[in-house]
Amino acid sequence: MTVASEKLLMRALAGETLPTPPIWMMRQAGRYLPEYRATRAEAGDFLSLCYNSDLAAEVTLQPIRRYGFDAAILFADILLIPEALGADLWFVTGEGPRLSTITSDADFAKLKGPDDVHDHLAPIYETVRILSRELPKETALIGFAGAPWTVATYMIAGRGTPDQGPAHALMAENTAVFDALMERLTLATIEYLSMQIQAGAETVKLFDSWAGSLKGAAFEKYALQPAKTIISALKARHPDVPIIAFPREAGEGYIGFAKATGADCVALDNSVSATWAAENVQKDGCVQGNLASRHMVTGGQDLIDETRAIVEAFRNGPHIFNLGHGITPDADPDNVALMIETVRSA
């Protein structure tokens, strides 16, 4: 048995139904942990932390030391690709990211090519190399990137928006620029994830956080098709590396997404029930999810009951236990421990 095949996460991604599902959490290295806040203060600011390979590796390792998760996910941010392509990126305390906007042919013409991102992203690849050396042998290493649609929504609006309205508007009013930006992001994402794999990531995840605002043909064209293109290219280069796709709030769009894109696992948000997903999504392979993040704040018997219900619903197929979205800064670290204990004793 190889080292990779001994890792519970990798076994689930290979389609194995396990007695106890592997566990990790989106944003598990984050502000809810006092050790993270101390390291971020040492780095100075969020972007400095992302680009400091030693400190980024340290915060990635912190939740592994504290909780013994079955996987670590690289500490980085989905907006590093826009910055690598030449966009200005900064973070406003308490408000989130800000970017220079791409809304015209002239704006798009200023962007770098997809092969020109590697110098800027070199510290991220070094973080992966450090982690591949320092993680416990039983802990899998996950790389990641934002999906093109989600990243494009920030690049077009210059910030996060409640309904991704500016991106939808550009899609309708200047389809040529919108499509060109989507293609550039798709190609850059392939390069970025491929380099993470070369540096030591054992699996990678594609986060399409705003996929749910795409409906009908737009979902097919701008969520499903880019994922298929990225996964196909990565499989051609790295045929043994499994890929997790997360088209958040896709609803009925979750059905068949794995088969249509080639993803080895589909991550689920908590707007769909585990029972529904077991019947409609898990039949095609591994699923990941989908406890509501609020339980990490509120804890108690509700956390225990819902965790047990999710484990039970997915018991008859490959499953990775996770939240339906990232853990929030107001979460109680003790509730994370309770969740893990509940999953492993279910």
The answer to whether residue 27 is catalytic is yes
Given the residues 77, 208, 269, 284, the one annotated as active site: 77
Residue 46 and residue 125: Cα distance in Å, rounded? 17
Three-state DSSP at 267 gives: strand
The answer to whether residue 11 is catalytic is no
The tokens for 342 are: 């509940």
Residue 49 and residue 56: Cα distance in Å, rounded? 6
The answer to whether residue 154 is catalytic is yes
The answer to whether residue 31 is catalytic is yes
Given the residues 11, 27, 248, 294, the one annotated as active site: 27
**Parallel, antiparallel, or unpaired for β 71-73 and 140-146?**
parallel
Given the residues 37, 40, 159, 315, the one annotated as active site: 40
Given the residues 32, 51, 125, 154, the one annotated as active site: 154
| Residues identified as active-site | 27, 31, 40, 77, 154
